Amino acid sequence: MTLFIRPLREKDLDDLHAMARSAGKGLTTLPADRALLADKIRRTREAFDQQSAPEAGLYLFALEDSRRGRCVGVSGIEARVGRDDVFWNYRLSTTVNASRKLGVHVRTPTLHLTNDMTDATEIGSLYLDERYRQDGNGLLLSLSRFLYLQEFPGHFSDKVFAEMRGVSDKAGYSPFWEALGRRFFDMEFSEADYLSGLGRKSFIAELMPKFPIYLFMLSEAAQAAVAQVHDNTAPALRMLEAEGFNFNGLVDIFDGGPLVEAFIHNIRTARDSLTRPVSISAEAMDSTVPPAKRLMVANGAFRDFRVTTLPAHCVGPESVTVPVELAEILLVKSGDRVRLAPLKRGG
């Protein structure tokens, strides 16, 4: 079995729908709505086929199990946000009030509604079938996007960000939403998040207060949730931080989860990647090599982008040796250049 990254296609709809249903509230950008998912796939095909403007591109990637011929994971890049629908966040800042006469100096954490991420590139829509959450497969699914960004920077913003899932319990209770959003939207957190995922975001502008929100007016639980992530999201946050992403002071308007951002040239996988020409080998690949001793290898094709992994010892100073079966998956031949980056650091 070989796992590899490729563009999401129409044949993946059933698998994508099954994953969306399995993910439940954890994959809000891909709700379990077949019509919406089919439209996302259509937009993806148009983006990879260059039938849409670069700034309008939605690039969804499938992780395929070559043995089963099925999509077992998905990840995505939105080329620009806020061009068709306004993209809202809260900026966490400090309001200072002082009186020299009274000797009072008060600093108050404050939330300001903002559209600061307009035109930035967003990574998201990350989900991996539970049966494949091992052997670095999640890293391949996530990090491969950075190789695509590095290969085709002209199609994306220099700034890349990710919205991290905020604090909520198993029942979907969000303390931030209960203290703030519910007071203006009069709906459950799950419903607001679902409508946003469907692309029906106009209600945000219509109902959200435009005035600053003083955090001390919210419940203690809500204050504690600001810029914090869901327990299930913590590993993803650590991975992004290791790649050079940092909290940018913005939080999600629904659950208060943090936004982290980086410039493409500072993302470690993109920055440290290198290219080598391919040398095809008839020898079988050693599938027992652990993730820490494997490299991602990407074919560099815009339309038929492919990424898989191979042992690090296959890379020499002048070329990279690629077994025949991997060359077929990558759609490369001898002499073609591929991009390489570590799958996992250390070890």
Cite the active site residues. Answer: 230
Q: Distance between CA 163 and CA 320 in Å, rounded?
A: 36
Least Cα distance to 44 among 55, 32, 57 occurs for 57
Of 311, 286, 344, residue with least CA distance to 142: 344
Write the DSSP assignment of 272-341 as a string of letters: H-EEEEEEEE-SPP-TT--GGGEEEEE---STT--EEEEEGGGB-SS-EEEEHHHHHHHT--TT-EEEEE
Q: What is the CA radius of gyration of the chain?
A: 22
167-172 long-range contacts, CB within 8 A, separation 24+: 167/224, 167/225, 167/228, 167/229, 167/230, 167/255, 167/256, 167/257, 168/25, 168/230, 168/255, 172/25
Q: Residue 8: helix, strand or coil by DSSP?
A: coil
* d(C-alpha 315, C-alpha 124), whole Å: 30
Q: Could you give the C-alpha distances from 87 to 3, 36, 84, 125, in angstroms and in order?
A: 34, 19, 9, 16
